[in-house]
Structure 1
Amino acid sequence: MKSCGKQLLQSGMPISGARTMLKANQPDGFDCPGCAWGDPEHGSSFEFCENGVKAVAWEATEKRATPAFFAKRTVSELRQLSDYELELNGRLTHPMRYDATSDRYLPVAWEVAFAEIGSILKGLANPDRAEFYTSGRASNEAAFLYQLFVRVYGTNNFPDCSNMCHEASGIAMRQAVGVGKGTVLLEDFEEAEAIFVIGQNPGTNHPRMLGDLRRAALRGARIVVFNPIRERGLERFSDPQDKIEMLRRGSTDIASHYLQPQLGGDMAAIRGMAKAVLAAEEVAAAAGLPSVLDHSFLAEHCAGFAEYKASVEATSWAEIEDQSGLSREEIERAADVYIKAERVICTWAMGVTQHLHSVSTIREIANFMFLRGNIGRPGAGLCPVRGHSNVQGDRTVGIDEKPSKDFLDALETHFRFTVPRQHGHNVLAAIGAMLDGSAAAFIGLGGNFARATPDSALVEKALRRLKLTVHIATKPNHSHLMPGETAFILPCLGRTEMDLNATGNSQLVSVEDSMSMVHGSAGINRPASPLLLSEVAIIAGIAQATVGSAVVDWAELAEDYDRIRDHIEATIPGFEDYNKRLRKPRGFHLRNAAAHRKWQTPTGKASFSCQALPEQTVHQRARKGEGRFALQTFRSHDQYNTTVYGLDDRYRGVYGERQVIFIHPEDLKAINAKAGDRVDVVGEHDDGIERVARDFRFVPYDIPRGSIAGYYPELNVLVPLGSAGEESDTPTSKSIMVSFRRRNAA
């Protein structure tokens, strides 16, 4: 609570902020601009968390980054500020255009900005020379209008934040169960007898999830955690919505089992549990005991079980132990929890998805869950937990560089224009196109592209060589300080602010959470500036200036978002009666075929995979070189994605700084270093490019030997552009080989 109060005071809105929070995640209020965790059907009046308070306070701050802010410093001078210092200046108030002569951003009229952006886009040699980025904070309505504009313009270049987080989840789950989304509802957490939490830290990334894990633990569910780093929130949790617990300063044990695999060792750990389950089945069969496997489910609903079983049996325990970093006994104890539970949920996040072999790992998770039929029944299923509040919804409504034929056919039939069919660029391909000169323009719908992406120095070079850069944003960030030849910052309304059309009617937007629930969001605060436009209005203005209104009347859609939703309903399955259902409390659920055991796969069944374990993980490669370590990047507790709310990480005991490296105490001794020593962290990728993160302090921590961790975006400079997940093309931010270069001791 102290942290929440600090954030509200820092934002300059302690009283109005408290009023605002009472409307967060409520049927008549706004969706929290933070994480994508679901809202309960039986919601309370206080369905928000500490990070939600920080996100709302960050957006609803009374501080303003006016033209006077930009007049005081050149862009070169602003570039010296940290991410925290830059965004602390508050909300953008005016559209701004970069002036290269003075190296400053100057105010510009909206109509002038739209006209110049449209003129440059129309003047490109072909539409594929433009890149259109989307952040997961965009609403369904803004995202649908954005993809429609871009496809009318003529390209499928949609680099998207999902390319950098859960791309592997979508790919693997489509292969395994036919749907690239989680199969559970929030209510399933109330019925699960066991919950496996793999590669995620809810305490920092989606704290409301901890409330559901706490309630599960209190009723006796077993919670098995696989995480290289000891995270306090997964061990014990004090629920701020439990008045008695807070008054008594109590807490609840969360994890019944906490296993710390080596970086990249999750697939081996899951394979080990599957091996233990298959062994238990053999013992049960020999003794005439009830089957451990769900043979009925396997026979009726699954394909490839025999091949998978053979692959597991061919994997030795020695290989599993070496790659996972866990003992056979630890893995078998975790498997025993699975065997004894009738209803199991498996949930994961970027600790799984940002590795070279992430798709294979998620396929292995699905394999494991198939063994006992833990998909498609109450209290069981697969649950990838998304990050930003609408990253899943953006993909649902068409933000996809590889759109399905059915979706493109629906657009073409409904809007009567020739839709581009060639696959477009994801994030890494877009950066490559900028670097080789084949891309000339970048438009960012929210987010902080330069700080979210890998290889920071290369990305800055890529952006600054473009003919046009446009950033639609609420606050200044470092991406704005890497201007192209022509550059604009276009300020938009935030989720907490009223969005009124010309007649004074409040506009409603919608988002989709990690459980495929679609619900409405309507801001209640006065806009930070009378000059702000909604994301929808900005997209419509750019579209009108670029492609005109022959195919779509952009102004008409911007005037009434119900009309946008009518078009979504007409082109995307599952959105029937969209406007009507959206206005019901808690919204509606998009049907998930896999949750009903309908498998939209080539075989018509849930599909086992039988890949071998990776030949080597980053940890196994690192230990072959003296002084080398496997690094993962993650968030601090005072951070959400690239947004830094403060400089403290109280869960990990770090205060007032961010340039730290968490390392096992014995590893410090092995390299003749001690706590507080400062080092440069040097990337060890084999492409001949020097990557160095300078001046970081050692912090001893409970982490496997040979593995280290630190915060992004500061360490993104070490993530090679050329290192990406197999099939997913996601940057391998959890699998970075590094060494240290000594600085002066503290």
Structure 2
Amino acid sequence: MTERKIEVYQGPAGGWGALKSSAQHLGEQGIAVKGAKTLLHANQVDGFDCPGCAWPDRDHRSTFEFCENGVKAVAAEATARRATPEVIGSRTVSEWLEASDFELEALGRLTEPLRYDPASDRYQRTTWDEAFALIARELQALPDPNQAAFYTSGRTSNEAAFLYQLFVRQYGTNNFPDCSNMCHEPSGSAMRPTIGVGKGTVTLDDFELADLIFVFGQNPGTNHPRMLGELRRARQRGARIVSVNPLRERGLERFADPQNAVEMATGGSAPISSHYVQLPVGGDLAFLKCLCKRVIELGALDHDFIAAHTVGVDALVSELAATPWAALLAAAGVSQATVDEIAQLYAQSPATIACWGMGITQHRDSVATIQMIVNLLLLRGQIGKPGAGVCPVRGHSNVQGDRTMGIWEAAPDAFLDRLGSEFGFEPPRAHGLDTVGTIAAMLAAHVKVFIAMGGNFAAATPDTAATWRALQQCALTVHVATKFNRSHVVHGREALVLPCLGRTEIDVQATGPQSVTVEDSMSMVHLSAGMNAPASEHLLSEPMIVARMAAATLPRSTVPWLQLAGDYRLIRERIAAVLPDFAGFNERVAAPGGFRLRNTASERVWVTESGRAEFRSRPLPAETAQAQAQAARRDVRVFTLTTIRSHDQYNTTVYGHNDRYRGVQGERRVLFIHADDLRDQGFKPGQWVDLVSLHVTPGGTVEERRAERFLTVAYDIPRGCVAAYFPETNTLVPLDSHAEVARTPTSKSIPVMLVAREPAHA
């Protein structure tokens, strides 16, 4: 492990640091030459879609369409390391459970199917036929299909996702927990009833036309580095960028483009944010209400747009007028002067985009907050015009596409009608289980089989202790994966780990080499084809794994599963038959860069209950979770914890122990806290503390959960707020603490107290 060091980072995001890190990760994986060649095919017309984030590609004909984030993802997938059955079987599963997430990731690519042997407590080599027979036997033995749950990760391709949901619905359930439930579920839940779509309305072209760009609760420097290029260009042509975030993030301050020869040669960089508003954690809803209230007071409304396209504005105006400024400002944690300045900027902007990330979505009031973002834009007609609109920035590369393909526990009847008609069966109609519901159902022994297409469910989910108990109570857990991870060592009585092809690898089926498709954050659908030889001759593609599961489990099904998995063009033909927006799928996706799905809201066509865009408002909550905890525990200082990623991780995948832009090297268990709060608590920088979450139940009981041993780091964060990395802090999030309506875990607003401990010995 790198030597531990904490120091303030003074450089810009990107630049030589990004290049050095990229080279380091390629070298560590033993693929310096191979990796460089592979990266030249990332996000190209004839190449593969980056397995990292879902930010769209500016130009599929460009030589370089990747970033540091993408380099790490590609290096991890194309690694020379191999997690063979001998490597995995060299330790018991109990021993692997003690390994860190970094150590598990570093084992390399899985090479053969593995089956858990309880007698030896080890994974052993099995055959594909034996694996599919076990899955079929366990699923067929369940008296009720709803006793199985089928998880989907955002890396799953459109073709695999479509087959997967078809298999599961023919099996008889809508139990589709997926990664959306844990990240951007509130975005769709907020926007569908208000503007008629659950997706962003803008394209990259709009970023060239926007006069003002809001960035709410997001750290693109670590999570979506290519977004910084768009923000940089916008700022250089004179657009204003307002970043609203509790932490001062370097990527939102300055950026040096590693592909800009002049900047690299001169050590130059470009500013990103013109204005930076540091709200306390959870202050976004109140701040947005402040902006809406002030814009109304300024008389800066687009009355023609409001009259022609919306309903509900009078109720919003009345509610805001009745809310005192003092209450709003106190809840937002900002001054009247700050509100006035930002509201004036917005009132004068002819074209405004609002972006947001998981800093907005993982709160109890996240749906209300996103609807207030929509309200702000609707007040000035800033949806459905060039350079303006909503932009939820999603994480994993095809998380949006999976939902489009029907990975949804509450799929609309129109989709189910078309699916049933195309394949000659009656899909189940009752809504299924989401992620939180699945964990609760496993705990209650209602769900007995858990199958996951990718991801790392045991590490990504809230309430770690409860989630692990839930998985361990299952009769069977199955994970389709490229790497060995935490979820594989937190298993059911029977367990399988099934290795699949990665995004960078050549996929050859009966009809020859195949391409899959993915959908990015801006609804662009394009092809992806690998160029590396598979890590093992024993790997199967995700579509083939799904097809063989289905064929084994549903022997009476009339779906030609293996034929479809042998030619992905046939899958795309069936997708086009079920989803009208995919008409001519094979022909349209063959065009360079693919095609964009229709977005009705961007056309000012409002597919809502009223047929118009709908203003929605809700009063500020009477009491926050932090205030409830403080009232219940007056003997301690209660802080609000927000969970974050380090720069050397993507979702739950940990590539290293460094967080360059926050000045952390060689350590993950750190707690970022304001220097004055450290002093007032009697702590010093570099002191070790435990984090104890304080969850007040509806009955008034205070539940405590503990995460041990975090190193305090003085940081520029609002007082009363602290931040630490996940998944180490997921154990602090109660299973029943989630967003209203959307049920996303409240990982960004956890009431905690700090408890001093003796320094651990290195």
2:389 aligned partner: 381
Q: 1:439 aligns with which of 436, 441, 447?
A: 447
Deviations 1:194-249 (A, max 9, x none): 00000111011111000000000000000001000000000111111211111111
CA distances 1:68-100 after superposition (whole Å, capped 9, x unpaired)? 112210000001110001110100000000000
Matched residue, 1:741: 755
Q: Does 1:579 align with 2:589?
A: no
Tell me the residue number matched to 2:10: none
Q: 2:658 aligns with which of 606, 631, 648?
A: 648
Q: CA 1:619 to 1:258, structure 2 compared with 1: closer, same or farther past 3 Å?
A: farther
- The change in CA–CA distance for 1:622 and 1:3 in structure 2 (over 3 A counts) is farther
**How far apart are the structure 2 equivalents of 1:140 and 1:42?**
20
8 Å CA contact retained: 1:304, 1:609:
yes
In 2, distance between residues paired with 1:540 and 1:447?
Answer: 19
Give, in angstroms, the shift of residue 623 of structure 1: 5.7
Q: Which residue of 2 aligns with 1:720?
A: 734
1:745 to partner: Cα distance: 4.8
Tell whether 2:86 aligns with 1:72.
no
Check conservation: 2:83, 2:484, Cα contact below 8 A: yes
CA–CA separation in structure 2 for the residues paired with 1:550 and 1:357: 43
- The one-letter code matched in structure 2 to 1:701 is Y
| Equivalent residue, structure 2, for 1:177 | 195
1:690 offset after TM fit, Å? 3.7
Query: 1:620: Cα distance to partner?
Result: 4.4
Letter matched to residue 399 of structure 2 = V
Q: Secondary structure at the match of 2:580?
A: coil
Q: What percent identity do the matched residue pairs reach? A: 56
Match of 2:673 in 1: 663
* Partner-residue secondary structure (3-state), 2:175: coil
Q: 3-state SS of the aligned residue for 1:383?
A: strand
Summarize the alignment of residues 653-692 of structure 1 with structure 2, pairs less than 5 Å apart.
Answer: 653-687=663-697, 689-692=703-706
Match of 2:553 in 1: 546
Q: Could you tell me the TM-score, scaled by structure 1's length?
A: 0.97
Comparing 20-29 and 679-688, the one that deviates more: 679-688
Contact 1:263–1:735 (CA under 8 A) maintained in structure 2? yes
Residue 628 of structure 1: CA displacement?
Answer: 1.0
Q: Find 1:260's aligned residue among 278, 282, 292.
A: 278
User: Do residues 527 (structure 1) and 537 (structure 2) align?
Assistant: no
CA distance in 1, matches of 2:345, 2:134: 61
Q: Partner of 1:111 in structure 2? A: 129
Q: Residues of 1 paired with 2:360 and 2:471: CA distance?
A: 29
Q: Is the contact between residue 263 and residue 618 of structure 1 (CA under 8 Å) also seen in structure 2?
A: no
State the 1:121 CA deviation: 0.4
Query: Hey, what's the Cα distance between the residues in 2 that align with 1:174 and 1:573?
Result: 18
CA drift of 1:618 comes to 4.0
2:324 corresponds, among 294, 312, 316, to 316
Provide the C-alpha distance between the structure 2 equivalents of 1:674 and 1:393, rounded to a whole number of angstroms.
47
Secondary structure at the residue paired with 2:298? helix
| Residue aligning to 1:614 | 621
Partner of 2:9: none
Q: Indicate if the aligned counterparts of 1:633 and 1:711 stay in contact, CA closer than 8 A.
A: yes
Give the Cα separation in 1 of the matches to 2:320 and 2:29: 54
The within-5 A match list for 1:300-699 is 300-503=308-511, 505-548=512-555, 550-621=557-628, 625=634, 626-687=636-697, 689-699=703-713
Contact 2:629-2:696 at 8 Å conserved across structures:
no
Q: CA deviation at 1:502?
A: 2.7
Letter in 1 for 2:561: W
Counterparts of 1:309 and 1:126, CA distance in 2 = 50
Match of 1:285 in 2: none
Residues 214 and 382 (structure 1), Cα distance of their counterparts in 2 relative to 1, 3 Å cut: same
Q: Structure 2: any 5+ residue segments left out of the alignment?
A: 1-18
Structure-1 separation of matches of 2:616 and 2:603: 21
Give the Cα separation in 1 of the matches to 2:120 and 2:306. 68
In 2, distance between residues paired with 1:502 and 1:728? 42
Superimposed CA distance per residue, residues 638-691 of structure 1 (whole angstroms, 9 cap, x where no aligned partner): 110000111100100000110000000000011000100001111111356441
Provide the C-alpha distance between the structure 1 equivalents of 2:280 and 2:622, rounded to a whole number of angstroms: 15
The verdict on how the C-alpha distance between 1:549 and 1:581 changes in structure 2, with shifts beyond 3 A counting, is farther
- Specify the alignment match of 1:188 in structure 2: 206
Change (3 A) 1:672 1:43: farther
Q: What is the CA deviation profile of residues 98-133 of structure 1, one whole-angstrom value per residue up to 9, with x for unaligned ones?
A: 000000000001011101110110001110000100
- Is contact 1:323–1:620 with CA below 8 Å preserved after alignment? no
Moved more, 663-672 or 236-245: 236-245
Q: Aligned equivalents of 2:59 and 2:39: distance in 1? A: 19
Q: Does 1:223 align with 2:241?
A: yes
Aligned-residue offset at 1:44:
2.1
Say whether the 8 Å CA contact 1:164–1:453 is kept in structure 2: yes
Task: Quote how far apart the aligned CAs of 1:740 are.
Answer: 1.4
Q: In structure 2, what is the Cα distance between the partners aligned to 1:676 and 1:707?
A: 18
Partner Cα separation in structure 2 for residue 513 and residue 357 of structure 1: 26
Residue 42 of structure 1: how far off its partner (Å): 6.8
Q: Does 1:135 align with 2:153?
A: yes
How many angstroms apart in 2 are the aligned matches of 1:293 and 1:66? 63
Tell me the equivalent position of 2:13.
none
Match of 1:51 among 59, 63, 69: 69
* Secondary structure, counterpart of 2:582 in structure 1: coil
Contact 1:417 1:551 in 2 (8 A): no
1:95 match = 113
Instruction: Return the offset for 1:479.
Output: 0.3
Q: Count matched residues.
A: 735
CA deviation map 1:424-458 (0-9, x unaligned) = 00000000000001010000000000000001111
State the alpha-carbon separation in 2 of the partners of residues 680 and 613 from structure 1.
32
Mapped to 2, the partners of 1:623 and 1:707 lie a distance apart of: 13
Bigger Cα displacement from structure 2, 270-279 vs 710-719: 270-279
Give, in whole Å, the separation in 2 of the partners of 1:535 and 1:734.
32
For 2:79 and 2:554, the matched residues in 1 are separated by 36
**What is the Cα deviation at residue 610 of structure 1?**
2.3
Contiguous gaps of at least 5 residues in structure 1: 282-291
* Other structure's SS at 1:209 match: helix
Cα deviation for residue 621 of structure 1 reads: 4.4
Distance 2:527 2:644 in 1: 30
**Which residue identity does 1:317 align to in structure 2?**
W
Q: Compared with structure 1, are the counterparts of its residues 124 and 473 closer, same or farther at alpha carbon in structure 2 (3 Å cutoff)?
A: same
Q: Which residue of 2 aligns with 1:284?
A: none
Shift of 1:41: 4.4
- Whole-Å separation in 2 of the counterparts to 1:338 and 1:42: 33
Deviation at 1:549, TM superposition (A): 5.2
Query: Counterpart of 1:276?
Result: 294
Whether the 8 Å contact between 2:693 and 2:750 is mirrored in structure 1 is yes
Q: Determine the C-alpha separation between the residues in 2 that align with 1:184 and 1:197.
A: 14
Q: What amino acid does structure 1 have at the position aligned with 2:259?
A: Q
SS of 1:489's equivalent in the other structure is: strand
State the SS of the aligned residue for 2:689. Answer: strand
Instruction: Indicate if the aligned counterparts of 1:74 and 1:103 stay in contact, CA closer than 8 A.
Output: yes
Aligned residues: CA RMSD: 1.1
CA distance in 2, matches of 1:261, 1:522: 43
**Residue 214 of structure 2 aligns to which amino acid in structure 1?**
F
1:247 corresponds in structure 2 to 265
- Equivalent-residue separation in structure 2 for 1:623 and 1:366 (angstroms): 32
Question: Distance between the aligned counterparts of 2:118 and 2:372, measured in 1?
Answer: 52
State the shift of 1:553 in Å: 1.1
**d(CA) in 2 for partners of 1:43, 1:300:** 41
CA distance in 2, matches of 1:269, 1:489: 46
Amino acid at match of 1:381: G
1-side partners of 2:399 and 2:617: how far apart?
A: 30
